[in-house]
Protein backbone atom coordinates (compact mmCIF):
# COMPACT_ATOMS: atom_id res chain seq x y z
CA UNK A 1 0.00 0.00 0.00
CA UNK A 2 1.25 3.48 -0.87
CA UNK A 3 0.61 6.70 1.03
CA UNK A 4 -1.38 8.00 -1.94
CA UNK A 5 -3.73 5.03 -1.58
CA UNK A 6 -4.66 6.37 1.84
CA UNK A 7 -4.61 10.10 1.15
CA UNK A 8 -6.69 9.79 -2.02
CA UNK A 9 -9.42 8.08 -0.01
CA UNK A 10 -12.27 10.62 0.53
CA UNK A 11 -12.61 9.40 4.13
CA UNK A 12 -9.01 10.39 4.93
CA UNK A 13 -9.27 13.23 7.42
CA UNK A 14 -7.96 16.50 6.04
CA UNK A 15 -9.47 19.95 6.17
CA UNK A 16 -13.05 20.84 5.36
CA UNK A 17 -15.14 17.89 4.25
CA UNK A 18 -16.28 18.23 0.64
CA UNK A 19 -19.98 18.64 -0.04
CA UNK A 20 -20.01 15.42 -2.08
CA UNK A 21 -18.83 13.44 0.96
CA UNK A 22 -21.26 15.14 3.33
CA UNK A 23 -24.32 14.42 1.19
CA UNK A 24 -23.21 10.90 0.28
CA UNK A 25 -24.89 7.76 1.61
CA UNK A 26 -21.85 6.91 3.74
CA UNK A 27 -23.14 6.41 7.31
CA UNK A 28 -21.94 8.77 10.04
CA UNK A 29 -20.10 5.98 11.85
CA UNK A 30 -17.97 5.32 8.74
CA UNK A 31 -16.77 8.94 8.49
CA UNK A 32 -13.82 10.19 10.48
CA UNK A 33 -14.64 12.41 13.46
CA UNK A 34 -13.26 15.57 11.81
CA UNK A 35 -15.10 14.90 8.55
CA UNK A 36 -18.37 14.28 10.38
CA UNK A 37 -17.97 17.45 12.47
CA UNK A 38 -17.20 19.41 9.29
CA UNK A 39 -20.31 18.06 7.56
CA UNK A 40 -22.47 18.93 10.57
CA UNK A 41 -21.03 22.43 10.87
CA UNK A 42 -21.80 23.03 7.17
CA UNK A 43 -25.39 21.94 7.82
CA UNK A 44 -25.02 18.98 5.45
CA UNK A 45 -25.50 16.25 8.08
CA UNK A 46 -27.98 16.15 10.94
CA UNK A 47 -26.69 17.16 14.35
CA UNK A 48 -27.11 14.88 17.35
CA UNK A 49 -29.32 15.88 20.24
CA UNK A 50 -32.66 17.54 20.66
CA UNK A 51 -31.49 21.17 20.64
CA UNK A 52 -32.02 23.34 17.63
CA UNK A 53 -29.62 26.21 16.98
CA UNK A 54 -32.32 28.24 15.27
CA UNK A 55 -32.71 31.55 17.07
CA UNK A 56 -35.81 33.00 15.43
CA UNK A 57 -36.80 34.89 12.32
CA UNK A 58 -36.04 38.43 11.26
CA UNK A 59 -39.76 39.09 10.83
CA UNK A 60 -40.16 38.55 14.60
CA UNK A 61 -37.00 40.39 15.63
CA UNK A 62 -38.04 41.13 19.22
CA UNK A 63 -38.30 37.41 19.97
CA UNK A 64 -34.95 36.35 18.53
CA UNK A 65 -33.04 34.58 21.28
CA UNK A 66 -29.85 32.51 21.39
CA UNK A 67 -30.43 30.02 24.19
CA UNK A 68 -28.51 26.96 23.00
CA UNK A 69 -25.03 28.17 23.85
CA UNK A 70 -22.86 28.84 26.88
CA UNK A 71 -20.63 31.92 26.95
CA UNK A 72 -17.14 31.38 28.41
CA UNK A 73 -18.00 33.65 31.36
CA UNK A 74 -20.54 31.04 32.47
CA UNK A 75 -18.08 28.13 32.34
CA UNK A 76 -16.29 27.11 35.54
CA UNK A 77 -12.70 26.99 34.26
CA UNK A 78 -12.58 29.59 31.47
CA UNK A 79 -12.10 32.74 33.59
CA UNK A 80 -8.90 31.25 35.11
CA UNK A 81 -7.42 30.01 31.84
CA UNK A 82 -4.23 31.71 30.60
CA UNK A 83 -5.20 31.27 26.93
CA UNK A 84 -8.79 32.53 27.22
CA UNK A 85 -8.07 35.66 25.18
CA UNK A 86 -6.76 33.47 22.35
CA UNK A 87 -9.35 30.67 22.29
CA UNK A 88 -12.33 32.80 23.42
CA UNK A 89 -13.83 29.89 25.33
CA UNK A 90 -13.75 27.30 22.53
CA UNK A 91 -17.09 26.32 20.98
CA UNK A 92 -20.00 27.89 22.79
CA UNK A 93 -22.44 25.27 21.48
CA UNK A 94 -20.69 22.23 22.96
CA UNK A 95 -21.47 20.72 26.35
CA UNK A 96 -20.26 17.88 28.54
CA UNK A 97 -17.55 15.54 27.27
CA UNK A 98 -17.51 17.15 23.82
CA UNK A 99 -16.84 20.58 25.32
CA UNK A 100 -14.14 19.11 27.58
CA UNK A 101 -12.39 17.67 24.52
CA UNK A 102 -12.70 20.95 22.60
CA UNK A 103 -11.38 22.87 25.60
CA UNK A 104 -8.38 20.56 25.97
CA UNK A 105 -7.64 20.89 22.26
CA UNK A 106 -7.97 24.67 22.32
CA UNK A 107 -5.65 24.84 25.33
CA UNK A 108 -2.92 22.67 23.83
CA UNK A 109 -3.25 24.46 20.47
CA UNK A 110 -2.97 27.93 22.02
CA UNK A 111 -0.45 27.55 24.85
CA UNK A 112 2.50 27.84 22.42
CA UNK A 113 1.16 31.23 21.23
CA UNK A 114 0.77 32.35 24.83
CA UNK A 115 4.34 31.27 25.57
CA UNK A 116 5.71 32.96 22.44
CA UNK A 117 3.91 36.20 23.28
CA UNK A 118 5.16 36.07 26.86
CA UNK A 119 8.73 35.50 25.71
CA UNK A 120 8.50 38.30 23.16
CA UNK A 121 7.22 40.75 25.77
CA UNK A 122 9.40 39.76 28.73
CA UNK A 123 12.37 37.85 27.34
CA UNK A 124 11.54 34.97 29.67
CA UNK A 125 9.97 31.57 28.99
CA UNK A 126 7.04 30.63 31.20
CA UNK A 127 7.23 27.02 32.30
CA UNK A 128 4.86 26.95 35.26
CA UNK A 129 1.68 28.94 35.88
CA UNK A 130 0.88 29.22 39.58
CA UNK A 131 -2.81 30.04 39.62
CA UNK A 132 -6.34 28.75 40.09
CA UNK A 133 -6.46 26.79 36.81
CA UNK A 134 -6.54 22.98 36.74
CA UNK A 135 -3.41 21.32 38.14
CA UNK A 136 -2.63 19.56 34.85
CA UNK A 137 -2.33 22.97 33.19
CA UNK A 138 0.16 24.52 35.59
CA UNK A 139 3.31 22.74 34.39
CA UNK A 140 2.95 23.99 30.83
CA UNK A 141 6.12 22.50 29.32
CA UNK A 142 6.63 19.49 31.52
CA UNK A 143 9.29 21.07 33.73
CA UNK A 144 9.49 17.74 35.51
CA UNK A 145 11.57 16.64 32.55
CA UNK A 146 13.84 19.65 32.71
CA UNK A 147 13.55 23.41 32.54
CA UNK A 148 14.82 25.19 29.41
CA UNK A 149 18.35 26.63 29.68
CA UNK A 150 17.10 30.09 28.71
CA UNK A 151 16.03 32.48 31.49
CA UNK A 152 12.66 31.29 32.85
CA UNK A 153 9.94 32.91 34.94
CA UNK A 154 7.06 31.54 37.01
CA UNK A 155 3.77 33.43 36.59
CA UNK A 156 1.93 34.06 39.84
CA UNK A 157 -1.80 34.72 39.64
CA UNK A 158 -3.10 37.83 41.33
Tens of pLDDT along 49-69?
Answer: 677 777 888 999 999 988 888
Q: Can you give the pTM of this predicted structure? A: 0.58
Q: What is the pLDDT of residues 83-121, one digit of tens each?
A: 999 988 888 888 888 888 888 888 888 999 999 999 999
- pLDDT of 73 over the 90 cut: yes
Question: HEC profile for the chain?
Answer: CCHHHHHCCCCCCCCCCCHHHHCCCCCHHHCCHHHHHHHHHCCCCCCCCCCCCCCCCHHHHHHCCCCCCCCHHHCCCHHHCCCHHHHCCCCCCCCHHHHHHHHHHHHHHHHHHHHHHHHHHHCCEEEEEECCCCHHHCCCCCHHHCCCCCCEEEEECC
- Percent of the chain scoring above 70 in pLDDT: 79
Q: Where are the domains of the chain?
A: 1-47, 69-158
Amino acid sequence: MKLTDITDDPLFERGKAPRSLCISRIPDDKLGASQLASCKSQGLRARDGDKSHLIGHISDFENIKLNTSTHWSHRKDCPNCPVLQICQGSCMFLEGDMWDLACNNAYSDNIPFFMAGWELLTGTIPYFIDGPQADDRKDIIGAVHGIPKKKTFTIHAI
